[in-house]
Amino acid sequence: MEIKVSPSLLSCDYLHLANEVERAFTCGADMLHFDVMDGVFVNNISFGIPILQAVKKVSKLPLDVHLMICRPRDYIERFVQSGADIITFHLETGCNIEETIALIKNCGAKAGIAIKPHTPAKDVQKYIGLVDMILVMTVEPGFGGQAFMPQCLDKIRQLRSMADSMGVPPDIQVDGGINAETAKLTVDAGANVIVSGSYLFSADDMADKIAMIKALQG
Ligand code: DX5
Ligand code: ZN
């Protein structure tokens, strides 16, 4: 499977946002990861619709929006209108999952569903055939720069084998604590879309780091 890299803007230099968006593109990223936090679903607040609109104006890459917010349904139309190409929301929000997936698709975006480290694969199993992407969080959502949780690897394996046995090929995305070493572990387990924030944006050689991740074989 082709490995795609989605640098997380949460770790970029916000004073030079346009340059950072351009840097990710010229360094070979496949999409840009945009983390929205509301201070309720997670204990942090990041950025939202006006910043997404600004990024959309300069980005040549698809925008991969990760909603860490309560009531995602209430905001989906506005996020799509503001430039989201993929919208991923959390299973743990307790929203109506089928309706939320349908709304994202009806608005014209790809739909993803995310699970936190302690949510088991079986909880998301029945939605595998409905989504374009499953996001397996490999840290507790809320902050960049945390350590990768290796106990999530089994879940990636389980989800990949569930998807294979159903004959559906969703993307499996991983997010949290990803560097070249942990990316390899997740790709070996079945992930094919790699989010990385602090590791990529703190690097002088982002292009080399992206190329290393993209060269991994699943
Ligand atoms: C965390 C976010 C991540 C974050 C990852 O809740 O969902 O996308 O930016 O940051 P790193 O790669 O630094 O762990
Ligand atoms: Zn994220």
Predicted pLDDT of residue 168: 85
pLDDT band at 30 (very low <50, low <70, confident <90, very high): very high
Q: What size, in residues, is the chain?
A: 218
CB 38 within 8 A of CB 63: no
Predicted pLDDT of residue 218: 66
Report which ligand 1 atom has the smallest distance to the Cα of 8. 9
193 lines ligand 1 (CB under 6 A): no
pLDDT, tens only, 178-216: 999 999 999 999 999 999 999 999 999 999 999 999 999
pLDDT, tens only, 107-125: 999 999 999 999 999 999 9
pLDDT, tens only, 33-42: 999 999 999 9
pLDDT band at 169 (very low <50, low <70, confident <90, very high): confident
Q: What is the 3-state secondary structure (H, E, C) of the chain?
A: CCCEEEEEHHHCCHHHHHHHHHHHHHCCCCCEEEEEEECCCCCCECCCHHHHHHHHHHCCCCEEEEEECCCHHHHHHHHHHCCCCEEEEEHHHCCCHHHHHHHHHHCCCEEEEEECCCCCHHHCHHHHHHCCEEEEECCCCCCCCCCCCHHHHHHHHHHHHHHHHHCCCCEEEEECCCCHHHHHHHHHHCCCEEEECHHHHCCCCHHHHHHHHHCCCC
- Mutational pocket test of ligand 1: of 6, 146, 148, 213, the residue with most ligand atoms within 8 Å of the beta carbon: 146
Which ligand number lies closest to the CA of residue 200? 1
How far apart are the CA of 111 and the centre of ligand 2, in A? 15
CB 132 within 8 A of CB 110: yes
Predicted pLDDT of residue 92: 98
- Degrees, nearest 5: CA angle 166-168-173: 115
145 lines ligand 1 (CB under 6 A): yes
CB 155 within 8 A of CB 121: yes
pLDDT band at 154 (very low <50, low <70, confident <90, very high): very high
pLDDT, tens only, 65-124: 999 999 999 999 999 999 999 999 999 999 999 999 999 999 999 999 999 999 999 999
Predicted pLDDT of residue 27: 98
Q: How far apart are the first and last CA of the chain?
A: 6
Report the predicted TM-score, pTM, of the whole model to 2 decimal places.
Answer: 0.98
- One-letter amino acid identity for 80? V
How far apart are the CA of 196 and the centre of ligand 1, in A? 6
Ramachandran assignment for 127, one of left (phi > 0), alpha (psi -120 to 50 degrees), beta (any other) = alpha
Residue with the smallest CA separation from ligand 1 atom 6 is 141
pLDDT band at 142 (very low <50, low <70, confident <90, very high): very high
Residues β-bridged to residue 90: 114
Report which ligand 1 atom has the smallest distance to the Cα of 37. 6
Report which ligand 1 atom has the smallest distance to the Cα of 140. 6
